[in-house]
């Protein structure tokens, strides 16, 4: 158990809908990262927040947005969902803000299925 929690574990929804994925980082970690893992694209970095502020952006679509709240939990919002958004979404956390030197601890992921 990494100490990172993600809810829900599974989510099934329809095209055009909007969903919110939630992540609680390990106690003491200030950075939260979001990743998407799909068969087509592999594992891709989406976005990083550090202590409430956006820190780095990867291949995140404009239909997707995220935020980190004062209690450091984070939410990833996915809107106007398409079939291709079906994937496993991971959250990870680390103490610091550097992806190179700070070990990231991954959550168990949220499996999103868009029908």
Partner 1 sequence: AQTVTQSQPEMSVQEAETVTLSCTYDTSESDYYLFWYKQPPSRQMILVIRQEAYKQQNATENRFSVNFQKAAKSFSLKISDSQLGDAAMYFCAFAHGGSQGNLIFGKGTKLSVKP
| List of residues contacting partner 1 (CB under 8 A) | 2, 33, 42-45, 55-56, 58, 88, 90, 92, 97-101, 103-104, 106-109
109 by DSSP, 3-state: which? coil
Q: How far is CA 65 from CA 27, 58, 60, 105, in A?
A: 24, 12, 8, 21
Q: How far is the CB of 89 from partner 1 (least distance, A)?
A: 11
Q: Which is nearer to partner 1, 33 or 64 (CB)?
A: 33
8 by DSSP, 3-state: which? coil
Q: How far is the CB of 78 from partner 1 (least distance, A)?
A: 19
Residue 58: both structure tokens together:
């990867």
Span between the terminal Cα atoms of the chain, in Å: 31
Q: Which is nearer to partner 1, 79 or 99 (CB)?
A: 99
Q: How far is the CB of 16 from partner 1 (least distance, A)?
A: 27
Rounded to whole angstroms, the Cα distance separating 12 from 43 reads: 20
Q: Which is nearer to partner 1, 44 or 79 (CB)?
A: 44
Q: Which is nearer to partner 1, 1 or 71 (CB)?
A: 1
Phi and psi dihedrals of 51, rounded to 5? 50, 45
Q: How far is the CB of 82 from partner 1 (least distance, A)?
A: 22
């Amino acid at each position: 158990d990494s100490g990172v929690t993600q809810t829900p574990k599974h989510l099934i929804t329809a095209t055009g809908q909007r969903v919110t994925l939630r992540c609680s980082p390990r106690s003491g970690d200030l950075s939260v990262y979001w990743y998407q893992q799909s068969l087509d694209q592999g594992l891709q970095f989406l976005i990083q927040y550090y202590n409430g502020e956006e820190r780095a952006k990867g291949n995140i679509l404009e239909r997707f947005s995220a935020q980190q709240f004062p209690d450091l939990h984070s939410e990833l919002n996915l809107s106007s969902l398409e079939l291709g958004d079906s994937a496993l979404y991971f959250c990870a956390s680390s103490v610091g803000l550097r992806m190179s030197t700070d070990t990231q601890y991954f959550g168990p992921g949220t499996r999103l299925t868009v029908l």
